[in-house]
Amino acid sequence: KVDKAADIKMIGFDQIISDLKQALFSNFPYTPIYPFGSRTMGLATADSDLDIYVDADGNDIYTDKPTPTNLNNQKKIAQALKSSANWIFIRCVDGMCPIVIVRHKASNILCDISFSRKITVDQNTLVNYIFELQPIARYMVIYLRSWAHENGLSQFRGHIFVLMVIFFLQIRKQLPSISGLQTDCCPNFGPWKTNFAKLGLSFFNMKPVPLNAIEARNILKDFFSYYSKFDYGVFVVCPWLGKAVRRTEMNEHMPWK
């Protein structure tokens, strides 16, 4: 499954992105478009969808809800893809981060197109870098996603396992905290920092975990043991600080404080 996920990542998405740029050109000429999500992180299965971000005008404004510009962009994107021979329009989804869902005909890949928050792409970039720092993390997430699927735990979304694995390796001193990678960075999207410094494990006096069957079994055993004993009623998992934080103290660590 690890090899299959890597193969899916290597296939690339050039034709999909090219067809999307062509369909949107009249409304969004020369607009940057980025693939992201499980397919770009080497976590996907053959039937995984592809997340795509259209960096349209008005996306640099930090807000907790869609702006009129965001909603207008959603209508433009939906209409353009309905009129394109390369796409099958599925539906529009509203909410904090509205999207347009379509299927690319040539590849038969389902695509979720967003256009309001580039922070999702930046988070993807950070996770990819963490997987480069500590490759065992990607192996663990792939196993856990498969384990959840086989045991009917559909409520566990893929990003939850990413957060849990990163945090678990942090408390073992095998990954740095996210704040450690962002020490000299300034907020660049409202109160949030989405950029980071590419500091190697050696900078934090850490070493890569060996990639072998014995190590993988042992670390997964420790993972399940740790989270089976975690006091969820008192603490929260906090990859940003790389340590458990009391629920009563969470507000003190929020970026607007």
Given this model, what pLDDT does residue 170 score? Answer: 98
Query: What is the C-alpha to C-alpha distance for residues 41 and 112, in angstroms, rounded to an integer?
Result: 16
Given this model, what pLDDT does residue 134 score? Answer: 97
Q: How confident is the prediction along the chain (257 residues), in pLDDT tens digits per residue?
A: 666 666 667 677 899 999 999 999 999 999 999 999 999 999 988 888 999 999 987 677 777 788 899 999 999 999 999 999 999 999 999 988 899 999 999 999 999 999 988 888 999 999 999 999 999 999 999 999 999 988 988 777 778 999 999 999 999 999 999 999 999 999 888 888 999 999 999 999 999 999 998 999 999 999 999 999 999 999 999 999 999 999 999 888 877 64
Given this model, what pLDDT does residue 2 score? Answer: 67
Query: What is the C-alpha to C-alpha distance for residues 121 and 125, in angstroms, rounded to an integer?
Result: 6
A 10 A CB-CB count for 254 gives: 9
Given this model, what pLDDT does residue 221 score? Answer: 98
User: Rg of the chain over CA atoms, in angstroms?
Assistant: 20
Residue among 226, 81, 110 nearest 168 (CA): 226
- How many Cα atoms within 13 Å fall on the side-chain side of residue 21? 14
Given this model, what pLDDT does residue 217 score? Answer: 94
Given this model, what pLDDT does residue 3 score? Answer: 63
Predicted model pTM: 0.89
Given this model, what pLDDT does residue 132 score? Answer: 95
Query: What is the C-alpha to C-alpha distance for residues 88 and 44, in angstroms, rounded to an integer?
Result: 22
Given this model, what pLDDT does residue 96 score? Answer: 86
Query: What is the C-alpha to C-alpha distance for residues 237 and 244, in angstroms, rounded to an integer?
Result: 5
Given this model, what pLDDT does residue 257 score? Answer: 47
Query: What is the C-alpha to C-alpha distance for residues 38 and 35, in angstroms, rounded to an integer?
Result: 10
Residues 6+ away with beta carbon under 8 Å from 227: 164, 168
